[in-house]
Amino acid sequence: MSQLNNGSLIIETAKVVELDDGYATVECVSKSACGSCGSAEHCGNSAIAKAFPTRTHQLKVKLTDSVELGDQIELGLVAKNMLQSALLVYLLPLIMLIAGAGIGKWLNQQIMAGDWLIALSAFSGLLLGFLSVRLLARYFIHHSRYRPRMLSRQS
């Protein structure tokens, strides 16, 4: 999402593509952060970002104003919740990987099985971390505070 508003909301513009009983399916375009600074024409990262197509994401939001198909609306997401989600997605598998490796090392010292046990244990921890993220995502998806909400209709 594109900008911060007063440090508390992340604001993004989306296009209404479908209407359904008080809800709208909206489409947001992912933009690369590269290309917006003054050094964009001389930067390798900017060139790589231009080579890949922009991606669109569709999501369903509850309407707070009347809209029609094709209208542009502003969506808001609490920045703190976005940060918590990012930390969960990136840090939990990493922590589980390290914990798995530690357990594997401890087991290896107890039974002298070899380094393959540490690698297997670390991989198992990583898998458990990814599965935990998936289960927690199912929990969070049902809480409205983690979903973007419609702020306004743009004219």
Q: For residue 139, what pLDDT is reported? A: 84
User: Could you please report the per-residue DSSP string of 2-41?
Assistant: -EEETTTEEEEEEEEEEEETTEEEEEEEE--STTSSTTGG
**Nearest Cα to 25, choosing from 143, 152, 145, 150?**
150
CA distance linking residue 58 with residue 77, whole number of Å:
15
Is residue 61 within 8 Å of residue 23, measured between CB atoms? yes
**pLDDT given at position 141:** 80
The whole-number pLDDT of residue 104 equals 93
H/E element, 146: none
- Please report, in tens digits, the pLDDT of each residue of the chain (155 residues total): 444 444 588 888 888 888 888 888 898 877 655 655 666 666 766 666 666 667 788 888 888 888 888 889 888 888 888 888 889 999 999 999 999 999 999 999 888 888 899 999 999 999 999 999 999 988 888 877 788 888 888 86
- Name the burial class of residue 146, with classes exposed (0-12), middle (13-18) and buried (19+) by CB atoms within 10 angstroms of its CB: middle
- Give the other-Cβ count within 10 Å of 72's Cβ: 14
pLDDT at residue number 64: 85
pLDDT of residue 152: 83
3-state secondary structure of 114: coil
pTM of the predicted protein model: 0.65
Quick one: CA dihedral 119, 122, 128, 133, positive or negative?
A: negative
